[in-house]
Amino acid sequence: MEVGRQDGRTANQLRPLTCTRNVLNRAHGSASWSQGETKVLAAVYGPKAGTKKNENPEKACFEVIWKPKTGHVEKEYEMILKRTVQSICVLNVHPNTTTSIIIQVRQSKS
């Protein structure tokens, strides 16, 4: 017996997913992503010269800013995303630079 969800999906169905890239003109890279009623906008700026305080100038630095819809700071999400990006990037290709990643939650279902 298959049990449905409130929105009519079965237990093994995902909410509809869409992703669009290059949605912001001034960002070096950007994307919008939505799944069901959750909508997120991401932008990347850089790399630009210089690193943040307490960062190794011999490696690239990433600054992550997570802006939730509710307005409260999500430092845990920022830290997880920063660690993930650092683990997949070659940090010594652009030493003494900072790349900023900004995530804006536009809408989310509570």
Could you report the per-residue pLDDT of 76-96, keeping only the tens digit for each?
999 999 999 999 999 898 899
Task: Quickly list DSSP for 23-87.
Answer: --SSSSEEEEEEETTEEEEEEEEEEEES--TTS-TTS-EEEEEEE-TT----HHHHHHHHHHHHH
Could you report the per-residue pLDDT of 67-76, keeping only the tens digit for each?
888 767 789 9
Which pTM value belongs to this model? 0.81
Cβ pair 21, 31 in contact under 8 A: yes
Contacts of 19 (CB under 8 A, 6+ apart): 31, 32, 33, 34
